[in-house]
Structure 1
Amino acid sequence: MSGIDATALDSLRATLRGHVIAPQDDHYDDARSLYNAMIDRRPAAIAQCMGAADVRATIAFAQETGVDLAVRGGGHSGPGLCLIDDGLTLDLSPMRWVRVDPEAATVQVGGGSQLGDLDHETHAFGLGVPAGIMSTTGVGGLTLGGGHGHLTRRYGLTIDSLIAADVVLADGSLVTASEKEHPDLFWALRGGGGNFGVVTSFTYRLHPVHTVGVAATVWPIDRTGDVLRWYREFLPAAPQDLTGFFAVLVIPPGPPFPEPIHGQKMCGVIWCYTGDLEADRLEEVLSVVNDPAPPAFHFTTPMPYPALQTMFDELIPKGLQWYWRGDFFDTISDDAIAVHERYGQGIPTDLSTMHLYPVDGAAHEVGPDETAWAYRDAVWSGVIGGIDPDPANDDLIRQWCVDYWTDLHQHSMGGSYVNFLGEAEGPERVRSTYRGNYDRLASVKRAYDPDSFFRANQNIPPSAA
C-alpha cells in the first residue's frame, strides 16, 4: 500500500499517547533522520510509541489499513531498514528507560533505549552488560542481532546475558519470551533480528565491570601484515580479560594521538582489559606490542567502562554517510592479510575503516544451536565501513567497501553478523548468516508471524506449513 489516508491517520493520533508525525509536520525531517545519512526515505507517518499499548495500537492500525510497517529502535541500521517510503515507522525511541535490580544483578531496559542509557544506570552499581562499542547504538537492534563488543571475550555475546523479552506479536498480543515461556520465540530472538515481533523491553543478567584498562596501539600502515600475523596468534591465546579489535584507519586529529601522526594511514588495536589494574597487569599483558614491529604510538589508561563506550561518539556522530559490509572469520589467513594490506593502503576517506572484532572466549562456551547465532566457532566478526560527511563521496566509499569485501569474502566463513549485512545483499546472504539454524528460524517465523507482517528487516520468510 502507498501512503496513508489523512482521516485514518487522525484516528491513529487519537488512539496513541505518543505523537504521530506526518510529512507536513514541523519535526518530520528530524523524526525520519537516521544515524546513516546515506539513507533518505520518506515514510507516510512515524508513530512515536510511549509504551506497549501504543505499540499494539500501531500494529493494529497497520494490519487494518494494509500499510507497510517498519520498526525503529536506535536508528543505527546501516541499510536503513527502520524506514519505508510511503509506509509507517513504529518508533520506539520514546521508550528510553532502565531499571536496575542490584541485588538480583539484573536490569530491564525499554525497547527504545540506547547503550549509553544502559551503561550509565548499571555503572552506578559496578555492573554491566556486554553490548556494542558506541553509546548511541540502540539496545534493541544490537541485541536482536546477537551483540558483540568490548566485553564479549569475558562475558559472551549480548544475547548470552538476555533473560527475557516482552514482545508484541503481529496479532497484537503481548507475550514474555524466556527459557520457560515461549522458549522457541526466545531462542529465535537471540540473533534472529526483528523478524518475530516488536520487543518493548529486554531483561538482562548483569556482570561485574567498573573501571577497565584501555589501550590504543598503532603501527604504520606498511606493517599491517606483520601486525596481523602476530595478532592472529596472540589474541586467541590471551586471557579472556583482554580483548582488542584490529583496525585499519586514518589517525584522527585529536587526543590521545600526538599531532605528528594525525592524518596518517595506520593499522592498530583498541584494547580493553577487565582484569586486575592495581597490579599493573595491563602493562604486563601488553608488553608484547613491540613484537610485530615498533608501534608509532602506544597509550594506556584506566577508564570507567561507560567512558570507553563513548570514546568514538564524537569521531563518528550521527549524520555521516555510511556504507558497510561484514563477514565472520575463524582465522586470518595469509591471503586475507594480503587483502587487508592492499585496501588499508587505499583507505579512501579519513573516517573509512575496517574492524575485526573478537567473538571468541566466553562466546564459544555456548553451543551453535542454543541460540539463533550460528557462528559460535567464529573468532572474529569483521566489518568494512566506507564513511564520510560529504554525500559527494558516496560512490567512492561504496566502491571501496564493495571491492574490499569482494576480495576478502572468499577468505571468510561465508556468513556475516546480521547487523553488518548491508544494503540489498539478498536472501542467500541472510540464509548464510544462520547456517543450520535457518530452517528452525523459518519455522518459528511461521508460528509467530505466518504472514510475514514484520518483513522490513533482514527477512526470514516463514516456512511452508
Structure 2
Amino acid sequence: MRVIHFSGLAILALVRSSVAAAVQSNESSFSADAARYRWAPGTVISYKGSPDFRQATERWDIYKPPTYSVAITPAVEADVATAVKLARQQKVPLLATGGRHGISTTLAKMQGGVAIDLSKLNSISIDKKAVTITVGPGVRFGDVYEPLYKAGFQIQTGTATCPGMIGVTLGGGIGRLDGLQGLVLDALVSARIVLANGTLLEVSKTSNPDLFWGVQGAGQNFGVVTSATYKVQPLYKGGIWTSVDLIVPIEKNLSYFKAVSGMLPMPADLTVQTTAVYNTTLKRTQLLSSLVYAGPKEAGLKAMAPILNLGPFPFQNVSTLALDKLNENAMFQANAAICVKQQIFDVYGFNLKTFDVPTMVSVVRKMSDFFDTQPAARKSALLLETWPNQAVMAVPDDATAYPWRDATTYGRGLIEEIRQIELRWDTPGDPVEAAANSLGRDVRAALAATSGYGNLTVYVNYAWGDESLESIYGAKKLPRLARLKAQYDPSNVFQFYHALPTSYP
C-alpha cells in the first residue's frame, strides 16, 4: 500500500491515474479530497499495509481496539485542523491519539475511520523565567524527566514512562506527586485545542475558561489538544527519592493490609503501590510492594517503618534514585515490561474512599483462586496505588471537571488510591476472556461495596467502558459538562472515549 508524503510535487501525484488504480476506491476518494488541501512537508497520509500506517496506529493495548482505514500524521499544528476538516468532509469518524495508551473498550466503537497520529508533534520547551514547560501531544512522560531535572525542575506525572503526557492530563493524571503537587491537570496553565469544526482555540483560566474547566477532567470529549503548557516546581529535596521493593508472602497479606490502612492518611511524600501477582516459580500468589519516598534514605525508611517492620521478607531492595530515573527503576523495574506495545490489557478500575482490610484480603483470595484455575491468565494482577492526596484536595472541587478530589482512597482513605484489576492473556479470543471479565466485574463490585462512596466510582483513565456516566464523571459535574458538549461538539465528533451527552439529565 502507498504512503503519501506531502512535499514538493507529491500532492499532484495523488491524482495520477496510475496511483489511483493501485488503491481501493475509498482510498482513492480520500486521496482526491486530501489533495485539495495544502499540507506541510513531512505530513504523511498512509493506508493499511504500509509501515507508516502500522507506526501511526500501533497501540499499547490490543484488547477491543479501534480500527482505521487511513492514518494522517501531521507534521505541524495546522495540519491537525486540516485533518479534522477532511474527516468531516468525508463523513467518516476520527480519533486523535498521542501515546495510544487508552484502555477504554469504548474506543472499539471506532471502526474503519481516520486515525490522527500526533506523534510528530513532540516538541518540548522549558521556560525557566516563567517556570513552565510546553509540550506537544506526541510527548510521553519519559521524554520530560531528564530535561526538567537538568533544569532543576519537576512536574507531576504518572508512574510509567510511555503514556502520552497530554492524553493522561485530559483525564486527570494521578501519580507519586499527588500529595506534594496534585494531579497532572492541576499543573496545566493553558492548552491549544482544535474543535470539531477545525477552529483552533487557546484555553486557560482567562481565555475560554469554561472550556478550560471541561478539558481538565473530560478533555477527550471536546477536541484535539495540540499543545499544553504546565507550571513546574523546583526539585523537592534536591530530586532525591528512596525506593523500596518488597515481596510479601500471601500469608502476610492481612498484616500487610492492616499496616497500609494504619498509615492513612499517607504522608504527602510517601506512596505505596501494591500488586497481587502470580509467582510462576513458586506457583502461588504473592504481593509486590513498592514504597517510594520523596527524600533521602534515612527519613524514607522511617516513614515506611509500619510496613518494613513486618519483615523479614523473601526479597527486599532499597535504592536511592534521582527523580529523573525513578519511574524507570521503582516497582521492581517493571516499567520496561509494562511499556511493551501490542499486549492485551483488560482493565477494571475503581476508586475507594475507605480502605477496608477484610475486602482487600477477600479480593486477593479471589485473584489467587483465579490464578489456580486459569493458567493462561497468570500475567494478570490486582494493582492498588495508594497515593497521598493533600495537594489534590487543596484544589477546590469546582475548579476543574475532575470529580474525585474527595477520595480518601481511589481505593483508599485521605489518600488517593487508584485501584485497578489488570487482566492479561496472550492470545486474542482466548477462552479465558470470559472468566477474566467475570472476575474483573466481581472484584470491582466487591471493592465498590466498601469504597465509602456507596456505589462504583472510577478514574476516567482507568474506566473499562461499562460504567455509568455518573460513576466516571460524577453527577454533580455532568450538567455543566453536557452544556459544554452541546456548545463545542454538538455533532459528537469526539465520541469514542467515554462520550458525554449533550444534555443531562
TM-score (norm 2): 0.83
Counterpart residue type for residue 381 of structure 1: I
Equivalent position of 2:412 in the other structure: none
2:351 paired residue among 328, 331, 337: 328
Equivalent position of 1:257 in the other structure: none
- Any conservation in 2 of the 1:73–1:141 contact (CA below 8 Å)? yes
Larger Rg: 2
Counterpart residue type for residue 356 of structure 1: L
- Any conservation in 2 of the 1:97–1:117 contact (CA below 8 Å)? no
- Any conservation in 2 of the 1:166–1:177 contact (CA below 8 Å)? yes
Q: Which SS does the other structure have where 2:499 is aligned?
A: coil
Residues 147-162 of structure 1 aligned to structure 2 (within 5 Å) = 147-162=173-188
Distance 1:130 1:146, change over 3 A: same
Residues of 2 paired with 1:432 and 1:173: CA distance? 28
Shift of 1:106: 0.8
Residues of 1 paired with 2:190 and 2:346: CA distance? 33
Residues of 1 paired with 2:127 and 2:139: CA distance? 17
Q: Which SS does the other structure have where 2:227 is aligned?
A: strand
Distance 1:361 1:217, change over 3 A: farther
Distance 1:81 1:131, change over 3 A: farther
2:321 paired residue among 294, 297, 303: 303
Give yes or no for the alignment of 1:441 onto 2:481. Answer: yes
Equivalent position of 1:194 in the other structure: 220
Shift of 1:291: 4.1
Give yes or no for the alignment of 1:340 onto 2:363. Answer: yes
CA RMSD of superposed structures (Å): 2.4
Residues of 1 paired with 2:44 and 2:177: CA distance? 37
Distance 1:263 1:153, change over 3 A: farther
Q: Which SS does the other structure have where 1:154 is aligned?
A: coil
Q: How many residues are aligned here? A: 450
Equivalent position of 2:190 in the other structure: 164
Q: Deviations over 1:95-147 (max 9, x none)?
A: 11211112322100001211111223212223221111111111122100000
Q: Which SS does the other structure have where 2:399 is aligned?
A: coil
Residues 124-273 of structure 1 aligned to structure 2 (within 5 Å) = 124-209=150-235, 210-236=239-265, 238-250=266-278, 264-273=284-293
- Any conservation in 2 of the 1:319–1:389 contact (CA below 8 Å)? no
Q: Which has the higher mean CA deviation after the structures are superposed, 341-350 or 126-135?
A: 341-350
Shift of 1:7: 2.5
Shift of 1:61: 0.9
- Any conservation in 1 of the 2:459–2:472 contact (CA below 8 Å)? no
Shift of 1:56: 0.5
Residues of 2 paired with 1:167 and 1:219: CA distance? 46
Distance 1:299 1:197, change over 3 A: same
Residues of 2 paired with 1:77 and 1:429: CA distance? 18
Equivalent position of 2:491 in the other structure: 451
- Any conservation in 2 of the 1:352–1:386 contact (CA below 8 Å)? yes
Give yes or no for the alignment of 1:384 onto 2:402. Answer: no
Counterpart residue type for residue 369 of structure 2: G
Residues 65-104 of structure 1 aligned to structure 2 (within 5 Å) = 65-79=90-104, 84-104=110-130
Residues of 2 paired with 1:283 and 1:459: CA distance? 44
Equivalent position of 1:409 in the other structure: 448
Residues of 2 paired with 1:410 and 1:425: CA distance? 17
Identity over the aligned pairs, expressed in percent? 24
- Any conservation in 2 of the 1:36–1:320 contact (CA below 8 Å)? yes
Residues of 1 paired with 2:287 and 2:138: CA distance? 35
Give yes or no for the alignment of 1:110 onto 2:136. Answer: yes
- Any conservation in 2 of the 1:247–1:354 contact (CA below 8 Å)? yes
Counterpart residue type for residue 495 of structure 2: R
- Any conservation in 2 of the 1:162–1:205 contact (CA below 8 Å)? yes
Counterpart residue type for residue 448 of structure 1: Y
Residues of 1 paired with 2:160 and 2:383: CA distance? 14
Q: Deviations over 1:262-290 (max 9, x none)?
A: 76522232122113x1x721122223324
Shift of 1:32: 2.3
Q: Which SS does the other structure have where 2:48 is aligned?
A: coil
TM-score (norm 1): 0.90
Counterpart residue type for residue 168 of structure 1: V
Distance 1:86 1:430, change over 3 A: farther
Residues of 2 paired with 1:127 and 1:264: CA distance? 43
Structure 1: gaps of 5 or more residues: 253-260
Shift of 1:81: 5.4
Counterpart residue type for residue 48 of structure 1: T
Q: Which has the higher mean CA deviation after the structures are superposed, 221-230 or 411-420?
A: 221-230
Shift of 1:298: 2.5
Q: Which has the higher mean CA deviation after the structures are superposed, 128-137 or 444-453?
A: 444-453
Q: Which SS does the other structure have where 2:316 is aligned?
A: strand
Residues 3-14 of structure 1 aligned to structure 2 (within 5 Å) = 4=26, 6-12=28-34
Distance 1:31 1:396, change over 3 A: farther
Residues of 2 paired with 1:340 and 1:284: CA distance? 29
Residues of 2 paired with 1:344 and 1:419: CA distance? 23
Q: Which has the higher mean CA deviation after the structures are superposed, 99-108 or 283-292?
A: 283-292
Equivalent position of 2:294 in the other structure: 274
2:307 paired residue among 289, 294, 297: 289
Q: Which has the higher mean CA deviation after the structures are superposed, 413-422 or 431-440?
A: 431-440
